[in-house]
Structure 1
């Protein structure tokens, strides 16, 4: 792979790699380090790149593996607001009350997602935040597509039930 091919195929996904790493690590500096490490690994393997069909999924898989390695080595504890990955603006109808309500809801949803089992958390991040297809998630996570669908279904169901329970009891 030439430098031009690297710039056109790999660098455009750098922001997605960063957001994905940040979801794992909850530390902006660590996430930037992971992305840098991933880009170096991709560059060093550039001779093999022409054989890949989906460069983005391959880069995401490397990002996932490097992030998990860092987590295992450091046992980081963290919290980060989920609204960083979502547009919670209400447009012209935005009021301070509405803005606060949306922000609180997103924080609540974020805490529900953080409480999910690891696979469910990763699948919901890749599908609902990053917008990857089931096939791409299957490749990134190296799991069967049925497992992707089951984990996504269970994750969405758990978040929905938790949100409904809070709203039903007036705690939200």
Structure 2
């Protein structure tokens, strides 16, 4: 399945654990296979697969009262594109750790929409299909999520508070 890696990254961000993400993807692909006759009717196969993955991951989170782990931060780190000195690298790493910490504190809906748009690059329409909500709600929640992270980061930087 061509979108397997994208589904894995999505599950990993939701669950924060590599093994659980692999399990979820395996379950999702089995579910897709069992419903292969529906594929011809779908307008967006990728959104359907993302929705299945999301639902399975959320079920796992709810059933275990799951907690995010450090695997999430390692999965989302952005590699440096040019050579930096150790001080710049440390500052960038610290900033990314703080941003990921702020994102992880967002409500689940904000966090998921932010992830799908800014990390996975899905369109507003695709996000609406994955989450089964209106596109206007996607835009509003994405704006609120970005605003909340930006304000908390500014407060942290200027005042040293969260």
What TM-score do you get using the length of structure 1 for normalisation? 0.88
8 Å CA contact 1:88–1:102 kept in 2: the answer is no
Gaps of 5+ in 1: 1-10
- Find the counterpart in structure 1 of residue 44 from structure 2: 54
* CA RMSD after TM alignment: 1.5
**2:150 matches 1:152:** no
Structure 1 runs of 4+ with >4 Å offset: none
| Deviation digits for residues 4-63 of structure 1 (CA, Å, limit 9, x no counterpart) | xxxxxxx11111111111112111111000000011111111122111121111000000
| Other structure's SS at 1:119 match | helix
Indicate how the Cα distance of structure 1 residues 69 and 13 shifts in structure 2: closer, same or farther if over 3 A, else same: same
2:17–2:69 contact (8 Å) kept in structure 1: no
Residue from 123, 130, 142 that aligns with 1:140 = 130
User: TM-score, structure 2 length as denominator?
Assistant: 0.93
- Give secondary structure in 2 for the equivalent of 1:12: coil
Contact 1:22 1:31 in 2 (8 A): yes
Are the equivalent residues in 2 in contact too, given 1:26–1:78 (CA < 8 A)?
yes
Unaligned runs of 5+ in 2: none
